[in-house]
Amino acid sequence: MKLAIGLGNPGKKYALNRHNVGYMAIDWLKRNNLPSRVILKKSGVFMNSSGPAVKKLINHFSLDTDNLYIVYDDLDIPLGKFKIQKGIGPKGHKGLNSIYSALNTKDFWHIRIGVDNRTPQDKTPGEDYVLSDFTDEEKLLLNKTFTDLSKELAK
């Protein structure tokens, strides 16, 4: 059994933000019937407080970190791409730092979904950029990303 937990921020205000791509991925996977051996959950809390919520879910399902998949936004990866890596995440991601602290480990699966679609001329700081909404065109690209992700998770 795998437990995939999407990170984001609750509330309509944040629903389409780049920072909420973890929540968006979980919603998409639920709508598209990912195989039953994958439990899909959202953290249900604000990104920077994800650790205790993730720990509670792991304990609830009696799983270890070998079966934990955390789904989140990554500015180091271009929009339309993703990486699944064990123990590897971006530096300075406050949601991950909260999880590392709560679990006392980085040794779980990181599903890093690319959200960066800035042009070289766009100097928007990362902290502001991740709180911006995806465009309609970008949402179409995300659907393809989520389709590819679902194939990987089903393995």
DSSP string, 114-153: EEE---TT----HHHHTTSBPPHHHHHHHHHHHHHHHHHH
Residue 60 designated active-site: no
Written as six digits, the tokens of 85 are: 């890596």
Strand partners, 4: 40, 69
* Torsion 93-108-82-25 (CA) sign: negative
Contacts of 81 by beta carbon, 8 Å cutoff, 6+ apart: 114, 145
The catalytically annotated residue of 19, 60, 93, 110 is 19
Catalytic residues: 19
